[in-house]
Amino acid sequence: MRGLTKTAANFDDNRIQGWSVIRKVAPYLWPEGQGWVKRRVMLALAVLVISKLIAVTTPILYKQAVDALAPEGADTATILGLGAVGLTLAYGFARLMTVGFQQLRDVVFTRVGQRALRQLALETFTHIHRLSMRYHITRKTGGLSRIIERGVKGVDFLLRFLLFSIGPLVLELLMIAVILFFLFDVWYLAVVALTIALYVWFTFKVTEWRVKIRKEMNDQDTDANQKAIDSLLNFETVKYFGAETWEADRYDMAMQNYERAAIKTNYSLAFLNFGQSLLITGGLVAVMVMAAVGVQRGDLTVGDFVMVNAYMIQITMPLNFLGTVYREIRQALIDMGDMFDLLGQPAEVQDKPGAKDLQVKGGHVTLRDVAFGYDAERPILNGITLDVPPGQTVAIVGSSGSGKSTIGRLLFRFYDVNDGALLIDGQDVRDVTQESLHAQIGVVPQDTVLFNDTIHYNIAYGRPDAGEEEIVAAAKAAKIHDFVTSLPDGYQTTVGERGLKLSGGEKQRVGIARTLLKNPPILLLDEATSALDTETEMEIQAELKAMGEGRTVITIAHRLSTIADADRIVVLERGQIIEEGRHDDLLAREGRYAHLWNRQSEEDAVNQTV
């Protein structure tokens, strides 16, 4: 009994969730202030009703034609006053009109449907970009892309089949029920109604069971897709460790689980199809036997027998797809539910109501008693107070985990501080719009990631409205122009996934050119050369230094030799500033900075000897 109660509760929960999802889709089909959309929806529904009216009257024309051909019916008056040939032509024309109005309905509605799909996809894509860094580092890109893909496909399926399959089927069944009741008797209607009721009950019960199996199959499909994308994105790492077999085995294990679920799905489909056929055939035979007896008694004509058969076939054809349609609608509702859940994820970092644009006059950056931790149990910064005057270069150094890169993420507002304040020219970054904040800060990260597009596209990404001369000027300033022009395709050279066709130094120069084109007043260099070899690092340091002229620069550094000429060096340890000053002053103190400097100098000496 508990199991039945639990199943009923799950069914009710699914039904409630389904209606909730449908309500969320409805505004896209009936948007406020867009009359053309509403007019198209109404016209499509009107055409739908006309097509169904023609469809249910078509078998009557068929009956009249058959009766007119029977010997005793030669002189019988027929509708429209037509003979057998005329009725046959009218029957053919009615069938054609049924299809014609169905296609007209699709033509009228398709623009509404595609507009809804586009708007939903855009909203989801935009919302994903609004979500916090914390959310993205805990989710897998492959999973997110599948959620969008399946969600949009689910909406498309729901629009096409719920509106133009289930809805029209119900309307057609009601019309046929009325005809059977008035032209025959209530027993015909009773048999048809019982057949349909049993058919729908059986279909829904089995399909509910199949939905669980299908969900398992989708989960395994998502898992396999994530493993494939993760492995391909880390192609080099796989090669470095000779892990091709390991990756193939992981992928094959995921596909094996998918195969097992897919087999269950196909077995259950066979059971569903046979059960449906058994029920619908039983109903068809029962009605035909009743009609045959009626003809033998003289109560019905041969045309009536044919008409009943035509109506039963007319009912059977759409019902045959009911299981598939219902399952796909249930699956579509699940997929759409995942997408709407994603849309419902709150952005951790949001603009305040009425937030103003950041106004940068000099680029004065101030951290005032800032405290922050990615987790409440693990604080990273503990009351940091730091002042970066306009036009100065301040370097932040320290051991791994001291909180260097965290300061950069807080400056760009990937996260909000837990306590204290971070200000730019006296404006708290939480009080200004994120768009204006991001526009005023240029970032050159440790590993510049490029889009799988051309060099021109990647440089122009810094300011998409920049002219060709400005793009070339930025490339020249970053000392990448000569290299680009030496390539066969020049600036139209494709850089590959994540820029893997370029060397580390070339990628970094493209990143510098991109940031130069952006021309921000505040520059954040997040260990911008630590991933490069010493020679390339020295070359790029010159570009970075020139890039910082006239800007406020915050350099997060691992190699101390790259920041020796900074206006001020700040030493972090366990989330607190323990030293700050110029390079020579810090060395003279013989403190933490001097210790780090001496250790790196010794390592460099050993490396040079080797």
pLDDT digits (tens, 9 = 90+) for 502-518: 887 888 888 888 888 88
Break the chain into its structural domains and give their ranges: 27-344
End-to-end CA distance of the chain: 77
To which residue do tokens 């005809």 refer?
A: 179
Question: Residues 308, 310, 312, CA angle at the centre, nearest 5°?
Answer: 70
The length of the chain in residues reads: 610
Residue 432: what pLDDT?
92
- Residue recorded with tokens 């996934």: 497
Longest dimension (CA), the chain: 122
Amino acid at 29: L
Alpha helices in 298-358 (DSSP H): 302-320, 322-344
Residues 6+ apart with CB under 8 A from 451: 457, 458, 461, 495
Which of these ranges, 173-182, 307-316, 494-503, has the smallest mean pLDDT?
494-503
Rounded to whole angstroms, the Cα distance separating 449 from 497 reads 9
pTM of the prediction? Answer: 0.63
Q: For position 5, what pLDDT does the model report?
A: 40
In contact, 206 and 273? CB cutoff 8 Å: no
What are 460-489's pLDDT values in tens digits?
988 888 889 999 998 888 888 988 999 888
How many angstroms separate the CA atoms of 89 and 95, rounded? Answer: 10
Q: Which of 11-25, 65-79, 532-546 has the highest mean pLDDT?
A: 532-546
Is the CB of residue 577 less than 8 Å from the CB of residue 384? yes
Q: State both tokens at 435.
A: 């768009």
On whether the CB atoms of residues 526 and 408 are closer than 8 A, the answer is yes
Q: Name every residue whose Cβ is closer than 8 Å to that of residue 272 and which is 6 or more positions away in sequence.
A: 203, 206, 207, 210, 323
The more confidently predicted of residues 594 and 319 is 594
Which stretch of 227-241, 297-311, 532-546 has the lowest confidence by average pLDDT? 532-546
- The answer, yes or no, to whether residue 9 has pLDDT greater than 60, is no
The strand order across the sheet containing 381-388 reads 381-388, 365-372, 419-424, 427-428
pLDDT confidence tier of residue 335, bands split at 50, 70 and 90? confident
- The per-residue pLDDT for range 206-215, each reduced to its tens digit, is 877 877 787 7
Select 27-344's CATH number: 1.10.3720.10, 3.40.630.30, 1.20.1560.10, 3.40.1280.10: 1.20.1560.10
Mean pLDDT of 533-557: 79
pLDDT of residue 368: 92
Instruction: Give the C-alpha distances (Å, rounded to integers) separating 67 from 60, 74, 394.
Output: 11, 8, 98
d(CA 177, CA 192): 8
d(CA 568, CA 395): 6
Q: What share of the chain is helix, strand, coil (3-state, %, to 5)?
A: 70, 10, 20
Q: Answer whether 79's CB lies under 8 Å from 60's CB.
A: yes
Residue 132 has pLDDT above 70, yes or no: no
